């Protein structure tokens, strides 16, 4: 009861200032002239006084006037202020005022605010921009459009994931993804992936499944001050998605959007085309590499002898064998929606379907998604109820990458003289498991394609119920109950590979077959309740908010796998006598928060924003589970203070803000535990328990920490928004400095401590940067319009400190040989790998064979961080024809490529043909020896690398060792290009259609890469969506390009 | 009024959620137990030691004892073959040792001591000492006095020198042996002990055998005669052998080395080929044990061919690869802590160093090794009176004979011990540098590198020595 009393007390206190003695009462309604919708919260003031009210959810108002008062001043953000004579029952239609920069944007908790009042950077992306190019996902459509927002597709596979980062990586080991909020409800962006070196699978992330046609706007809250009201969930920024709703008093409307898309392999990898099968310069019929002789066109026997027969073919190159392997992928994307509304009730309902079959032959790489969405709202007399629900159902079939028998690993090792498509008949005696030409750890790629599988399906539902009650004057009560849940099921299987004993592959290429299934469930309940009020005191206006938040997240997952199948081709957990390996995990966490915010404005010229949130989290120590996040900001509209400059500067604003957000630890990390016994080893399954019918437990390798504090992100932001010449030129600049301190990490500690890691608070990672958004309208006439946008973002990432003496350096991704690391004084994610040994003056130290010697320690190289990124958007409109394009340029940074590595190893990369594979002396090389005094000295190396050793040279990375596989990440590409035509109204006025539009669109049409990258698209990763994903790729699904035809109809 | 009612209902609902004081009290891990009985920890601890000794050390031992060489057409152990391992290569075995085995033994030791369960105390102390001692043999210095204490905040443990650790381990073993094994606080271990099914007499013998091994290791740097005599005369005796058996051909149930290196589920490619050093030696001696140690290559028509040790870059390699013999490891091979032959040879050497004839034990060792590799004891008879005849001359000649035979017997069982013996005694005296050695000078490796995981995280880790720097007992 205490809370209720408090609530009521607030209510009366706030109301007091507005009560006056009055004599005449007038009521009326305020509507938007454009769409007839009621304007909620419009200010109605008696001219010449400070008396006023605001309109309610139906646009209605009632106001009392003194006898002599006649005129009302009605104003609302984004609308032209109206002065009208007060008459009872009046209806006021307000015109929108595009020239005044009174754009309304959605901010934290769904609050609508004037763009100009904001003290921080917020970017809105409209439905139009998201759907123009017919992209399957809104995230892909955002690429290159928002400064400081980095979205990268993990590969060209259907349904593959996107990595999303705002203003750089902050968290060394934790989550770096922004929080996604749909209609006020946080939703999960679950990504089910395999990221081990032997099993890389990407089943996509949930936000990519949202139907972009259902989205009204996406709002990107980049900084901590923008997202502080989300408290401990918002450390990495927030992306708000507002879904479409019906419009009041709009006639029933149907919208259809359809796209058919063709996808092709993007041939980035440059192969040598001169040498064929063999090793060490000699032909060998069973080698999985192109280290053989030069093509001579002569017929040669190759591969296995089967039943006394062997295949022969001319020894010539097959330059397009990889490209030929891939097919044209085909996507159908259809979406239909119905919407409308009466005066009090609106609705929106939609269905959308995507089927996507990728470029790998057969339908093993496919994605299908059905999305249902409903949004409705009704106004009662004293409350408004609205609700939206979305159900996304998807099925993904994915092709695995990585080492072992993966399709990509198999095809990359095929000699350059083989025709891969001719192996498609994988049951043929020369192509099957017994007869395949090599025993070196690979099989026919078509075998893996057809026999193995990785399937996933997910049901994802989220929605909310929102109730708004105007209490007294401007005081309103709002509550929003939201829930987000999904269930998913994964099944992966590997066929038995068992060559017969007569086969030369016997004993080498074997797999007992396996099946693994898993399922997961996650539910997030989120409740917000808040009071808003907007009193006005003379020149001062206040927008206040007091709220309460409850969040509860629960998940569980189970998985079972069996290895050693009995019946071939039957993939069921029953099909093994082996002991199933089972795993089960639960996670539950809860959070309670209270928050308050006050936006004060003075004469619509100065805006002050103050806010605070306090959270109590279940995952923190009980006696220290409360922590708070303050925020403050100030903005000044120059052009209000100096209206005379408006001739040049149509709008000018300076802003500055400070905010804090946080991150509480994961569940169950405060205490050390015992864990089920397991003895794992690299390259093997290890020894699993129960062993000899005994279960066993061991001391967990991770030390819990009962004194953990929440991670804290503090950010200062300064910015300017300047628009010139009637908004024809607009520039928005933001500078920010963000420090994330007290990071919660399971820190790798020396294992001689008896543990491998310990939970700690440590570190300070700083992201400091500038974002510039330039918008130009060089031409604007009745028929022709040209808009141009350039975004530029430069983020300097720096690890300010880790933990002196305890953690000087930490590996954050990669594997033991090559990894990305963090240490104080360097940007997060610099690479370390074993390069080659060099003398102090930089000469390469070679062995007796003249081959560079690998360095015994890991050496430091550059980081994965881009130097800067730029986006270019342009849109030309001429009488309904439009051409729009988005280009994306990312400069600098490194990534690791196993595609480069394996193609060096097998002699397929173009660079392995260097110097015609003749012996050469490693440039600038020396040999290490000892002089008579026993001191180490270096003498010039004169030993050429022998022909037979050239393959050894490249298998060890060439002249730079493993550092050769750290590739420049720079890229420039058109993300999307659209050429469309919207039929003029005059043409369709006699048809039932109100809009007919079609377009040709292309995505990733080409990519420009620096000359040192002849391997793979640097966007591609196989290591997941978090910071580890920036490490690079381990034999990934390749990048693709696509083009499509879209049709949009409205009825 | 209606509004007030509605809002009251909402408020009440929220209070219902949060009103109960333990709404936030949901942070107890449902996925893992807070603790477990120490007896249940023994199986995984023993298995960790087995994985360390049998897998990682079989790989290094097989190549550095020159029983095997890296195959021409695969690459997994090029660095070992070339004497060019990287510090990162030692990460796994190090963490399996410290956070896999040693810390679990420490948990058991602490709990057993509290419970005054001296049976378990002896088992865990002996196994932990066994494991520690080998680490010292390989790395020279390791964290010991400050090791395994991460939970008390020591995150950069200092390194202790090998001699100090050895001395303390021997003290710990003696202390564990001195406990009251008739106390009624002692518990039966039973089948949770994979090595001896909880037979405490066997564990006492194990402890004594371990002491013998540790004193023998120090022959070059300390006068251990009295200690060897003490072990030889101990009433605990020696183990016949000590091993974990029960491995089978199923996922997660294989012999650890086999599962990683030979099974298709593991590396999938056989990296080991017979080196001339051992195979040719046996064939020259007419010693049939090569048939037990090796198996012929698929294109060798049943003959046993060897490759020059280390010669992985031979241009004819891809043809040779299928001809050269490979290792006769099996999926159900036991993991040995001590083989019978090895114990015999240790006793033989210890006796000779204390002035007693080791001849009988030497011969018993050779016979045991013949049996181990699938032959009868009698198959050794001719050789024992022929070229393997026990020398009658100097101690050095006898040690040479014993250690050379120990080297043969250790193949595909405990080859790391042969390499360690070589570093101590210089026998067999015909080991040679790898044909593809990257360290030159005819040098052989004599130690492991500190793992990168340690040097990069532990500020107290010593600097790396070169790979041919002897460890403390080999100086």
- Residues of B numbered 119-138 whose beta carbons fall under 8 angstroms of chain A's beta carbons: which are they? none
Regions of chain A where pLDDT drops below 50: 1-22, 99-100
Secondary structure of residue A754 in the 3-state scheme: coil
Q: Which of these, A502, A496, A498, lies nearest to A448 by C-alpha position?
A: A496
Answer yes or no: is A336 within a domain: yes
Tokens 């990728």, located at residue:
A358
User: Stretch B345-351: mean pLDDT, rounded?
Assistant: 98
Q: Can you give the pLDDT at residue A17? A: 34
Q: Can you give the pLDDT at residue A34? A: 63
For an interface test with A, the pick among B4, B268, B447, B454 (most A C-beta atoms closer than 10 Å) comes out as B268
Q: What is the DSSP string of A110-156?
A: G-EEEGGG-SS-EEEEEHHHHHTT--S-HHHHHTTTSTTEEEEES-S
Q: Is B233 exposed, middle or buried (0-12, 13-18, 19+ CB in 10 A)?
A: exposed
Answer yes or no: is B46 within a domain: yes
Q: Find all residues with CB under 8 Å of A159, minimum gap 6, and list them.
A: A202, A203, A204, A208, A356, A366, A367, A369, A394, A396, A398
8 A C-beta contact, residue B244 and residue B46: yes
Q: Can you give the pLDDT at residue A929? A: 87
Contact call for B47 and A673, based on CB within 8 A: no
Answer yes or no: is B259 within a domain: yes
Answer yes or no: is A945 within a domain: no
- Structural domain containing residue A822: 138-262+329-405+452-670+705-829+864-893+969-1050
Distance (Å) from the alpha carbon of A531 to chain B's nearest alpha carbon: 11
Q: What residues of chain B lie within 8 A of the CB of A8, using their CB? A: 4
d(CA A285, CA A504): 12
Q: Are residues A36 and A177 in the same domain?
A: no
Q: Are residues A775 and A877 in the same domain?
A: yes
Answer yes or no: is A562 within a domain: yes
d(CA A819, CA A813): 6
Q: Chain B residue with minimal CA distance to A278?
A: B318
Secondary structure of residue A421 in the 3-state scheme: helix
Q: Are residues A60 and A143 in the same domain?
A: no
Contact call for B266 and A699, based on CB within 8 A: no
Instruction: List beta partners, residue B275.
Output: B307
Is any Cβ of chain A less than 8 angstroms from the Cβ of B470? Answer: no
- Number of folded domains in chain B? 1
For an interface test with A, the pick among B8, B15, B17, B24 (most A C-beta atoms closer than 10 Å) comes out as B24
Answer yes or no: is B404 within a domain: no
Q: Can you give the CATH number for the domain in which A527 is found?
A: 2.40.170.20
d(CA B105, CA B38): 9
Consecutive H or E run containing A663: strand A649-663
- Structural domain containing residue B176: 34-271+437-475
Q: Find all residues with CB under 8 Å of B284, minimum gap 6, and list them.
A: none
Residue pLDDT, tens place only, B419-442: 999 999 999 999 999 999 988 889
Q: What residues of chain A lie within 8 A of the CB of B195, using their CB? A: none
Contact call for A856 and B464, based on CB within 8 A: yes
Secondary structure of residue A658 in the 3-state scheme: strand
Q: Are residues A222 and A77 in the same domain?
A: no
Q: Is A840 exposed, middle or buried (0-12, 13-18, 19+ CB in 10 A)?
A: exposed
Distance (Å) from the alpha carbon of A818 to chain B's nearest alpha carbon: 10
Q: Is A605 left (phi over 0), alpha (psi -120 to 50) or beta?
A: alpha
Is any Cβ of chain A less than 8 angstroms from the Cβ of B311? Answer: no
Bridging pattern class, strands A925-930 and A844-846: parallel
Q: Can you give the pLDDT at residue A3? A: 37
Contact call for A684 and B98, based on CB within 8 A: no
Angle of CA points B190, B196, B200, to nearest 5°? 75
Answer yes or no: is B150 within a domain: yes
Q: Can you give the CATH number for the domain in which A52 is found?
A: 2.60.40.1120
Residue pLDDT, tens place only, B162-212: 999 999 999 999 999 999 999 999 999 999 999 999 999 999 999 999 999
Contact call for A754 and B149, based on CB within 8 A: yes
Query: What torsion, rounded to 10 degrees, do the Cα atoms B418, B424, B428, B432 define?
Result: 90
Count other C-beta atoms under 10 Å from residue A1014's C-beta: 17
Answer yes or no: is B85 within a domain: yes
Q: Can you give the CATH number for the domain in which B117 is found?
A: 1.25.40.390
**Residue A1008 DSSP label:** B
Answer yes or no: is B372 within a domain: no
Q: Are residues A83 and A162 in the same domain?
A: no
8 A C-beta contact, residue A810 and residue A748: yes
Contact call for B150 and A703, based on CB within 8 A: yes
The average confidence (pLDDT) of chain B is 94
Sheet holding A71-75, edge to edge: A52-54, A43-46, A71-75, A82-85
Beta strands in A398-474 (DSSP E): 453-472
Q: What residues of chain A lie within 8 A of the CB of B458, using their CB? A: 750, 752
- Mapping DSSP onto H, E and C, the string for A50-103 reads CCEEECCCCCEEEEEECCCCCEEEEECCCECCEEEECCCCEEEEECECCCCCCC
Q: Find all residues with CB under 8 Å of A1042, minimum gap 6, and list them.
A: A261, A262, A263, A264, A329, A331, A1002, A1003, A1004
Q: Is A363 left (phi over 0), alpha (psi -120 to 50) or beta?
A: alpha
pLDDT exceeds 90 at position B410: yes
Residue pLDDT, tens place only, B143-159: 999 999 999 989 999 99
Treating both helix axes as pointing N-terminal to C-terminal, what angle do B162-177 and B200-217 enclose, rounded to 10 degrees?
Answer: 160
8 A C-beta contact, residue A499 and residue A474: no
**CA-based torsion, A733, A739, A745, A748: positive or negative:** positive
Q: Which of these, B168, B95, B70, B19, lies nearest to B437 by C-alpha position?
A: B70
Q: Are residues A630 and A777 in the same domain?
A: yes
Q: Output the six-digit token pair for B228.
A: 């060897």
Count other C-beta atoms under 10 Å from residue A546's C-beta: 18
Is any Cβ of chain A less than 8 angstroms from the Cβ of B33? Answer: yes
Answer yes or no: is B20 within a domain: no
Answer yes or no: is A323 within a domain: no
Q: Output the six-digit token pair for A506.
A: 């016997």
Residue pLDDT, tens place only, B369-398: 999 999 999 999 999 999 999 999 999 999
- Number of folded domains in chain A? 2
Is any Cβ of chain A less than 8 angstroms from the Cβ of B21? Answer: no
Distance (Å) from the alpha carbon of B229 to chain A's nearest alpha carbon: 34
Q: Are residues A82 and A144 in the same domain?
A: no
8 A C-beta contact, residue A78 and residue A88: no
Instruction: List beta partners, residue A397.
Output: A366, A455
Q: Are residues A23 and A170 in the same domain?
A: no
Q: Which of these, A633, A652, A796, A657, lies nearest to A718 by C-alpha position?
A: A657
Q: Which of these, B313, B335, B315, B320, lies nearest to B274 by C-alpha position?
A: B320
Answer yes or no: is A561 within a domain: yes
Q: Is A205 exposed, middle or buried (0-12, 13-18, 19+ CB in 10 A)?
A: buried
Bridging pattern class, strands A179-182 and A238-243: parallel
Q: Output the six-digit token pair for A917.
A: 């594979």
Cα distances from A69 to residues A64, A83, A362, A537, in angstroms, run 10, 13, 78, 19
Answer yes or no: is B157 within a domain: yes
Q: Which of these, A1031, A700, A1030, A103, lies nearest to B33 by C-alpha position?
A: A700
* Residue B131 pLDDT grade (very low, low, confident, very high; cuts 50, 70, 90): very high
Cα distances from A384 to residues A344, A373, A387, A420, B16, in angstroms, run 9, 20, 10, 64, 24
Q: Which of A32, A62, A94 is the last residue of a domain?
A: A94
């Amino acid at each position: 009861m205490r809370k209720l009393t408090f609530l009521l007390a607030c209510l009366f206190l706030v109301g007091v200032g507005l009560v006056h003695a009055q004599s005449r009462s007038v009521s009326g309604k305020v509507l938007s002239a454009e769409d007839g919708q009621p304007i909620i919260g419009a200010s109605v003031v008696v001219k010449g006084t400070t008396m006023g009210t605001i309109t309610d959810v139906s646009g209605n108002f009632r106001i009392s006037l003194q006898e002599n008062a006649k005129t009302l001043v009605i104003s609302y953000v984004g609308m032209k202020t109206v002065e009208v004579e007060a008459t009872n029952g009046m209806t006021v239609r307000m015109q929108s005022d595009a020239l005044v920069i009174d754009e309304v944007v959605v901010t934290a908790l769904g609050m609508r605010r004037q763009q100009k009042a904001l003290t921080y950077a917020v970017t809105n992306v409209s439905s139009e921009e998201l759907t123009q190019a017919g992209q399957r996902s809104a995230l892909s459509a955002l690429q290159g459009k928002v400064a400081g927002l980095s979205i990268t597709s993990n590969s060209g596979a259907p349904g593959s994931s996107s990595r999303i980062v705002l203003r750089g990586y902050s968290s060394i080991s934790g989550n770096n993804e922004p929080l996604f909020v749909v209609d006020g409800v946080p939703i999960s962006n679950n990504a089910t992936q395999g990221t081990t070196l032997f099993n890389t699978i990407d089943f996509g992330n949930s936000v990519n499944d949202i139907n972009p046609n259902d989205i009204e706007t996406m709002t990107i809250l980049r900084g901590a001050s923008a997202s502080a009201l989300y408290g401990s969930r918002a450390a990495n920024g927030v992306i708000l998605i507002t879904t479409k709703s019906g419009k009041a008093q709009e006639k029933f409307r149907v919208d259809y959007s359809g796209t058919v898309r063709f996808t092709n392999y993007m041939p980035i990898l440059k192969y040598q085309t001169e040498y064929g099968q063999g090793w060490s310069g000699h032909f060998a019929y069973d080698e999985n590499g192109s280290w053989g002789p030069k093509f001579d066109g002569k017929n040669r026997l190759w591969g296995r002898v089967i039943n006394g027969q062997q295949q022969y073919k001319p020894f010539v190159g097959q330059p397009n064998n990889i490209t030929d392997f891939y097919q044209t992928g085909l996507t159908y994307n259809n979406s239909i929606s119905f919407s409308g509304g009466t005066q009090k009730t609106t609705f929106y309902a939609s269905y959308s379907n995507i089927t996507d079959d990728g470029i790998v032959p057969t339908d093993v790489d496919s994605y299908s998604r059905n999305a249902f969405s409903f949004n409705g709202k009704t106004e009662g007399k004293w409350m408004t109820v609205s609700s939206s629900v979305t159900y996304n159902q998807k099925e993904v079939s994915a092709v695995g990458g990585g080492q072992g028998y993966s399709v990509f690993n198999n095809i990359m090792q095929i000699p350059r003289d083989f025709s891969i498509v001719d192996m498609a008949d994988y049951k043929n005696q020369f192509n099957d498991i017994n007869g395949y030409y090599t025993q070196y750890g690979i099989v026919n790629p078509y075998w893996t394609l057809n026999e193995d599988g990785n399937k996933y399906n997910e049901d994802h539902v989220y929605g909310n119920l929102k109730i708004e009650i105007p209490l007294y004057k401007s005081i309103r009560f709002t509550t929003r109950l939201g829930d987000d849940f999904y269930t998913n099921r994964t099944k992966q299987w590997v066929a038995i590979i068992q060559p017969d004993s007569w086969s030369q592959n016997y004993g080498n290429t074997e797999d007992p077959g396996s099946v693994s299934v898993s399922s997961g469930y996650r539910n997030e309940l989120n409740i917000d309740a808040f009071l808003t009020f907007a009193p006005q005191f003379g020149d001062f206006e206040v927008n206040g908010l007091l709220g309460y938040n409850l969040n509860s997240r629960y998940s569980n997952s189970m998985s079972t796998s069996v290895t050693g199948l009995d019946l071939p081709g039957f993939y069921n957990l029953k099909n093994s006598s082996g002991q199933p390996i089972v795993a089960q995990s639960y996670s539950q966490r809860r959070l309670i928060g209270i928050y308050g915010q006050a936006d004060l404005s003075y004469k619509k010229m100065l805006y002050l924003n103050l806010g605070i949130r306090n959270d109590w989290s279940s995952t923190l120590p009980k006696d220290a589970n409360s922590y708070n996040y303050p925020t403050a900001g100030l903005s000044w509209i120059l052009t209000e203070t100096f209206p005379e400059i408006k001739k040049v500067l149509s709008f000018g604003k300076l802003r500055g803000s400070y905010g804090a957000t946080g991150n509480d630890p994961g569940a169950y990390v405060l205490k050390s535990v015992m864990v089920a016994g397991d003895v794992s080893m690299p390259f093997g399954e290890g020894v699993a328990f129960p062993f000899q019918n005994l279960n066993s437990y061991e001391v967990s390798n991770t030390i819990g920490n009962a004194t953990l504090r929440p991670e804290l992100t503090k950010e200062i932001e300064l910015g300017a928004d300047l628009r010139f010449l009637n908004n024809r030129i607009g520039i928005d600049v933001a500078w920010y400095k963000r420090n994330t301190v007290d990071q919660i990490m399971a820190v790798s500690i020396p294992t001689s401590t008896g543990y491998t890691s310990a939970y700690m608070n440590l570190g300070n990672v700083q992201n400091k940067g500038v974002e510039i958004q330039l918008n130009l309208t060089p031409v604007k006439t009745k028929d022709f319009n040209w808009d141009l946008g350039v975004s530029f973002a430069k983020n300097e990432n720096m690890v300010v400190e880790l933990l002196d003496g305890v953690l000087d350096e930490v590996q954050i991704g990669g594997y033991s040989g090559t990894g990305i690391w963090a240490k104080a004084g360097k940007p997060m994610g610099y690479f370390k790998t074993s390069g080659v040994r060099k003398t102090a003056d930089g000469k390469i130290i070679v062995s007796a064979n003249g081959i560079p010697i690998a360095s015994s320690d890991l050496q430091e190289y550059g980081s994965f961080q881009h130097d800067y990124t730029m986006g270019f958007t342009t849109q030309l409109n001429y009488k309904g024809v439009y051409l729009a394009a988005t280009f994306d340029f990312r400069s600098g940074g490194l990534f690791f490529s196993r595609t480069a590595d394996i193609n060096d190893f097998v002699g397929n990369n173009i660079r392995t043909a260097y110097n015609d594979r003749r012996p050469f002396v490693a440039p600038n090389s020396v040999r290490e020896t000892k002089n008579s005094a026993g001191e180490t000295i270096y003498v010039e190396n004169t030993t050429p690398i022998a022909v037979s050793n050239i393959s050894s040279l490249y298998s060890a990375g060439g002249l730079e060792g493993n550092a050769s596989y750290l590739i420049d990440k720079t890229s420039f590409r058109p993300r999307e290009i659209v050429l469309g035509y919207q039929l003029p109204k005059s043409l369709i006025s006699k048809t039932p259609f109100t809009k007919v539009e079609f377009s040709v669109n292309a995505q990733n049409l080409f990519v420009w890469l620096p000359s040192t990258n002849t391997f793979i698209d640097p966007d591609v990763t196989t290591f997941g969506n978090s910071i580890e994903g920036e490490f690079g790729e381990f034999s990934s699904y390749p990048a693709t390009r696509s083009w499509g035809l879209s049709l949009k109809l409205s009825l | 009024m209606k509004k007030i009612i509605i809002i009251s209902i909402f408020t009440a609902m929220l209070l219902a959620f949060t009103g109960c004081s333990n709404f936030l009290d949901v942070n107890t891990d449902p996925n893992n137990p807070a603790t477990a009985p120490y007896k249940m920890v023994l199986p995984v601890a023993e298995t960790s030691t087995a994985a360390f000794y049998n897998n990682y050390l079989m790989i290094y031992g097989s190549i550095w004892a020159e029983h095997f060489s890296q195959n021409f057409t695969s690459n997994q152990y090029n660095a070992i073959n070339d004497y060019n391992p990287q510090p990162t290569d030692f990460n796994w075995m190090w963490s399996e040792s410290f956070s896999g085995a040693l810390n679990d033994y420490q948990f058991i030791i602490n709990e057993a001591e509290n419970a005054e369960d001296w049976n378990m105390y002896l088992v865990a102390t002996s196994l932990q000492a066994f494991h520690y001692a080998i680490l010292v043999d390989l790395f020279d210095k390791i964290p010991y006095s400050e090791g395994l204490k991460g939970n008390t905040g020591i995150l950069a443990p200092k390194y202790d020198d090998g001699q100090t650790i050895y001395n303390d381990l021997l003290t710990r073993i003696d202390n564990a042996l001195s406990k009251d094994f008739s106390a009624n606080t002692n518990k039966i271990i039973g089948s949770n002990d994979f090595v001896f099914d909880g037979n405490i007499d066997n564990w006492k013998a194990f402890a004594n055998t371990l002491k013998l091994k540790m004193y023998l290791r120090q022959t070059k740097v300390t006068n251990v005669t009295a200690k060897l005599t003490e072990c030889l005369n101990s009433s605990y005796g020696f183990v016949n052998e000590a091993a974990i058996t029960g491995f089978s051909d199923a996922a997660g149930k294989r012999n650890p080395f086999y599962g990683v290196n030979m099974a298709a589920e593991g590396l999938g490619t056989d990296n080991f080929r017979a080196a001339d050093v051992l195979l040719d030696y046996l064939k020259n001696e007419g010693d049939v044990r090569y048939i037990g140690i090796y198996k012929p290559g698929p294109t060798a028509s049943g003959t046993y061919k060897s490759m020059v040790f280390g010669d992985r870059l031979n241009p004819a390699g891809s043809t040779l690869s299928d001809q050269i013999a490979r290792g006769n490891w099996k999926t159900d091979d036991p993991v040995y802590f001590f083989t019978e032959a090895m114990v015999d040879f240790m006793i033989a050497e210890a006796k000779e160093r204390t002035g007693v004839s080791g001849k009988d034990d030497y011969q018993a060792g050779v016979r045991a090794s013949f049996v181990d590799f699938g032959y009868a004891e009698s198959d050794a008879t001719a050789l024992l009176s022929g070229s393997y005849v026990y020398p009658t001359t100097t101690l050095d000649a006898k040690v040479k004979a014993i250690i050379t035979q120990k080297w043969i017997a250790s193949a595909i069982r405990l080859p790391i011990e042969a390499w360690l013996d070589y570093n101590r005694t210089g026998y067999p005296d015909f080991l040679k540098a790898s044909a593809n050695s990257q360290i030159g000078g005819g040098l052989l490796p004599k130690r492991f590198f500190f793992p990168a995981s340690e040097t990069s995280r532990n500020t107290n880790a010593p600097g790396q020595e070169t790979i041919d720097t002897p460890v403390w007992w080999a100086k």
